[in-house]
Amino acid sequence: MNFKPLIAAPSLRLHDGKEWKELDAAALAKLPRAELTAKARDGKEKRFSGIPLAEILKLAGAPSSDTLRGAEMNRVVLLTAADNYQVVFSLAELDASFRKQNIILADQVDGKPLDDFEGPLMVVVGDELRHSRWIRQVKQLILTRASASQP
């Protein structure tokens, strides 16, 4: 498939558990892209284009496929929007060896850049029944661990 490159000038802060990395539009444009068709918030089928979150997580050194097991299964991804809205995904939810459906960081819908309300970057989860984790205006991603103290 032939995908258009990123048109807007998005940037993303990425924390790998040790340090922050700044991904500018040029860095994001080098990553593989994917498309998926899903019902948008307005109930209409739309074609979204962007970067699979799994590809961004590779830059953070996240375990994947055969290395995502055992003690690594409590890894989570915390995404934050411009208005500080936050959502969480388990690392397994974002890994192709666990799920068929891509979860992407979209920058385009129906071949056009996302508007200012949703973009420049928005998480799209094609098979979710609710859009609560379709976080818009994504600014940062943190790879961390979910842990709780023993009662």
Which pLDDT value is given to residue 9? Answer: 58
What would the pLDDT profile of 86-119 be if each residue is shown by its tens digit?
999 998 888 888 877 679 999 999 999 999 999 9
- Would the pLDDT of 6 be above 90? no
Cβ within 8 Å of residue 44, ≥6 positions away: none
Nearest in space to 105 (alpha carbons), one of 14, 42, 33: 33
What is the CATH code for 12-144? Answer: 3.90.420.10
Looking at the chain, how many residues does it have?
A: 151
**pTM higher than 0.95, yes or no?**
no
Break the chain into its structural domains and give their ranges: 12-144
Token look-up 């994947």 returns 64
Strands (E) located in the chain: 12-15, 20-23, 34-39, 45-52, 75-81, 86-90, 103-109, 112-113, 122-125, 138-145
Q: Sort 105 into a burial class: Cβ within 10 Å, 0-12 / 13-18 / 19+.
A: buried
User: How far apart, in Å, are the Cα atoms of 27 and each of 23, 33, 63, 68?
Assistant: 6, 13, 21, 25
Give residue-wise pLDDT tens across range 47-80: 999 999 999 999 988 878 787 888 888 889 999 9
**Range list of H helices, the chain:** 25-29, 53-59
Model confidence band, residue 20 (pLDDT cutoffs 50, 70, 90): very high
> What is the model's pLDDT at position 8?
43
